[in-house]
Structure formats: C-alpha cells, structure tokens
C-alpha cells in the first residue's frame, strides 16, 4: 500500500488545523480600526495621528469648542451606548480639561496589546483657551 496519499492527507490536516489555531488567535482588531469605528459626539471627525506610546501607535485628535465637563458628559454617554465601561477611579475633570479611561466592550481584543496588559480606551481633553478644547483618543495597555 502506498503511504504517500496518507502522508499528504495527514500533512494537509495538520496545516489546516494549525491555520485555524493561528487564525483563532488573530481575532484582535487593529487599534486604528476600532478608533475610526467610534461614534463620538464631535462637530467633525477627528484626524488620525501618530502616537508613540499608544497601542498601534495611533490616536485620534481634534480641536473643538466647549467646556471640559460638557464634553465629558457627552463622550461618556456616547461610549456607554457603544458598550464601553468607565474606570471611574481614573476619571478626573477640571477647568483645565479631563481624563477618561474606559474598558472596551466584552469580547473586544485590541491588536498589539502587550501580554499581561489590558487595552483601555483613553480620552484626554486639554483646555486651549476659553471654550476651546483639544481632544485626544487612543488605546493604551494598562
């Protein structure tokens, strides 16, 4: 009996099985795609920007009119509707701006998150002047 067809079938099974395992582990979404998919209450879309320390080295950045506490309330409500949950211990707001950290929706995996860390969505607003804010949005490994 010729062993070659059996070996070929076995080799093919191994390759398909290995591909499924690798494919299953690669279900994480790139940070840039997740950021672009966010529905944020902004007057215009935020621009994508290089961010060296962010997961995927990308962030969103924009300038807009408003006060920190008003913008914070709007983004918290919008992101909660999208399944993000606030890490209240990290939330800080003042006349200077705000810091907001949220956990992604259950089952969301951010590609590039370092082993042993969890990806969190970080929003930071800085007051540039009266009623003028700069908003930065990114994923960080915490």
Give the C-alpha separation, 123 to 53, whole Å.
14
Residue 96 backbone phi and psi in degrees, to 5: -80, -20
Give the C-alpha separation, 140 to 110, whole Å.
10
The answer to whether residue 4 is domain-embedded is no
Give 58's strand partners: 50
The answer to whether residue 90 is domain-embedded is yes
The answer to whether residue 47 is domain-embedded is yes
Give the C-alpha separation, 46 to 7, whole Å.
55
pLDDT at 6: 54
What does the pLDDT profile of the chain (142 residues) look like in tens digits?
A: 555 545 444 444 444 444 444 444 558 999 999 999 999 999 999 999 999 999 999 999 999 999 999 999 999 999 999 999 999 999 999 999 999 999 999 999 999 999 999 999 999 999 999 999 999 999 999 9
The answer to whether residue 98 is domain-embedded is yes
The answer to whether residue 109 is domain-embedded is yes
CATH number at residue 137: 3.30.310
pLDDT at 130: 92
How many folded domains does the chain comprise?
1
pLDDT at 27: 84
pLDDT at 94: 97
Residue 82 backbone phi and psi in degrees, to 5: -95, 5
Give the C-alpha separation, 55 to 100, whole Å.
17
Helix, strand, or coil (residue 109): coil
Strands 110-111 and 132-141: unpaired
Q: Considering the entire predicted model, what is its pTM?
A: 0.81
Q: Residue 100: which of 65, 56, 52, 133 has the closest Cα?
A: 133
The answer to whether residue 24 is domain-embedded is no
Contact (CB, 8 A) for 64 and 43: yes
């Amino acid at each position: 009996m010729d062993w070659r067809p059996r070996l070929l079938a076995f080799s093919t099974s191994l390759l398909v099985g290995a591909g499924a395992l690798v494919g299953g582990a690669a279900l994480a979404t790139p940070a840039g795609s997740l950021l672009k998919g966010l529905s944020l209450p902004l007057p215009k879309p935020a621009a994508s920007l290089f961010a060296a320390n962010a997961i995927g080295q990308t962030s969103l950045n924009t300038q807009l009119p408003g006060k920190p506490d008003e913008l914070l309330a709007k983004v918290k409500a919008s992101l909660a509707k999208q399944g993000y949950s606030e890490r209240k211990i990290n939330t800080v707001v003042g006349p200077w701006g705000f810091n907001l950290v949220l956990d992604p929706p259950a089952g969301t995996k951010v590609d590039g998150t370092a082993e042993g860390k969890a990806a969190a969505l970080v929003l930071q607003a800085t007051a540039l002047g009266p009623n003028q804010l700069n908003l930065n949005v990114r994923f960080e490994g915490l």
